[in-house]
Structure 1
Amino acid sequence: MRTGRGTERSTRAPIETCSSYSDRNAAIGEPMAQVSDHGGGVRSIKVPIPDNPLGHTLVYVVDTDRGPVLIDTGWDDPASWDTLTEGLTACGTSAAEIHGVVITHHHPDHHGLSGRVREMSGAWIAMHAADTAVVRRTREARPERWFSYMTAKLMAAGAPEAHVAPLRAARPRALPGLSPALPDREIVPGDLVGLPGRRLRAIWTPGHTPGHVCLHLEEEHPAQLPGHGRLFSGDHLLPRITPHIGLYEDPDDTTVTDPLGDYLDSLERVGRLGPAEVLPAHQHAFTDAPARVRELLTHHEERLTGLLTLLDTPLTPWQLAERMEWNRPWEHIPHGSRNIAVSEAEAHVRRLVKLGRAEAVPGSDPVTYVAV
């Protein structure tokens, strides 16, 4: 289960990094520079994420025959809500006029304000069933259970007691995203999402989350760029950073998942679409999705190869994370980001095991892994 802030990474590291950039899209009015018009009845609003180097989530406003539909909504925070509502006003609409909300994935910087939008407008909320299941677990579970589960997971990964101790003493109210809105519509992979007058097809892209979806707008590009429509890519495909790929957390499910394998397969699927333009949830719009996909596939293969060198000696996931190359020295990585790094190390090791390139050392406790 993941309930913390969404954390993406540069192509070298999983810790929250984001380079600055110049938005090449036209801003709507000087006071509302956070709103950009992408043409063809699509605009975006930069909704801030509090205390996060990513800065903001790009919430897309798509015109339909029944009123505007949002793709993602942003973090549930008063300043974020104010920015969203001001942005909608700049787009000539309001939260009360929203017809529907399509969520790329359940993380709170994407799904956080969905419930408030629905309260204002009566809009439907759509999400893939796998992520809806995560939302349901989050709503039903007591926060103490999450802390105890994470404590056990970190200890099994070889985390030292000094790192685990703060989780034992954590106060439940410190955990964000405890009551995300329960979606009332299911996004079915391969089907058109119900946007009257538009052709928006759901593409299932698991990896960052089990139910992450990209959304393919199967319409001619407004600037007639070469390619096949536009792709709302959520966190799956970003121009200069790649999403954190950790483990899918479900305390009640012992299924051995392969999130990194899911992500790599999903990348290839998106690359084959060949969209004219990608509209991601962070940073900025970009073209040549196949080239970006190739960069990310190469990056992950190089990272897996590097981990095999480290696993010449048996290591726990924690020890592996300590030795991996991040965007800063391990001793400078904050507590919460270390949890994310260890989860990413485990996802990569799990991929190596599935490929037959590494294995668990029999009888090791906590479990160690070694290259085959």
Structure 2
Amino acid sequence: MALKGKIDDFGLVEIFQLISQQQRSGVLTIQSSGKKADVIFANGMISKVSPFYLSPKRDPFGDTGVKARLVTEEELQRALEIHNENLKNLEEVFLDINLLNINQIQKINNYLLVETLYDVLQWKSGDYEFNLKEIEHDKRLSTIIATEHILLDILRMIDEEPELYQKIPHFGIVFQKNPLDEKTLAGIDELTFNEKIIYRLVDGIKTTQDIIYQSVLGRYNTLKALHSLLEGHFIKKIATKKEPYLKPPIKKNCWQYVFYGIFPILIVLLMLWLRLLLSPSLSDDIASYKKVFAKTQFQKIKNALNVYFLKTGNYPVSLEDLVYAGLIKKDDLTYPGGVKYGYHLQADGGYRLEDAPL
């Protein structure tokens, strides 16, 4: 039995927070527009992520190792053969045959976790499914992370990245080191750990995308370091390779957000004004308001069912159980007009919630 739903109805941030608050273990599968990712939770904390969409025909971990130049294609194929023979975890295979050490394995897993959540938390539509199950977390191979902390970090990255894209609008840009003068030579020692990693990778040949892969720091940290190195005159742009590197997502400036936020409101107000002007009575409008209210109430019940499931591991026998659990009020169980919502607990443990017409 699983907790299922639409991203459109119940946001992913809320789902992550619910799983964290209830300290649940299991696998959250998220799908959107042909993309799929598994987020593994252990006692409400995130232990690992598998982004199947990054390399649909290859193992995400192995593919990242090759792109980071930590292993060769031949070494990956050798590890996959062993993995397919004994069904051992691919990370453990790399460790057993001394192709990667624990630090490198943790670095790849952390890279996949951050990059995947950065993408997934921006998906606006799709489906999610959380399956409760016991999770065996191997502390050697991946670091368990508090869900609230990683969510705050990722949301901050999403908020700050548009500024970085102004300087680095294309992942095909090639950078070259500037000759060191007295000022920049003294500044080398003041660079952060990430900046030093990126500075070493800048060679006049690698693209921004190459540096992202080979640093294993992720898009945000790589772009931030490149931005800082540009500002400090340690490096300069020398070329742009357009293919096959894709331009980062276009971000709207603040005035565009204001416009797109206000414009729909103005349209709604205009429609309401015209409706009131042309309607001989308010009966149609009252009916419309009732429908909107009922839809909001219906979603409130669905959200309460999700919380109940995560708390108990089961859906309630009746909607009244949600009231007893303090998740909703008794008045929330009926439509405007006193008609009760239809609820049926199914044989497979799922439920059917009926939204009857007003």
Do these two structures clear the TM 0.5 threshold for a shared fold by scoring above it?
A: no
| Larger Cα-atom Rg | 2
What's the TM-score once normalised by structure 1's chain length? 0.22
Q: Which has the higher helix share?
A: 2
Under a length normalisation based on structure 2, what TM-score does the superposition of the two structures give? 0.23
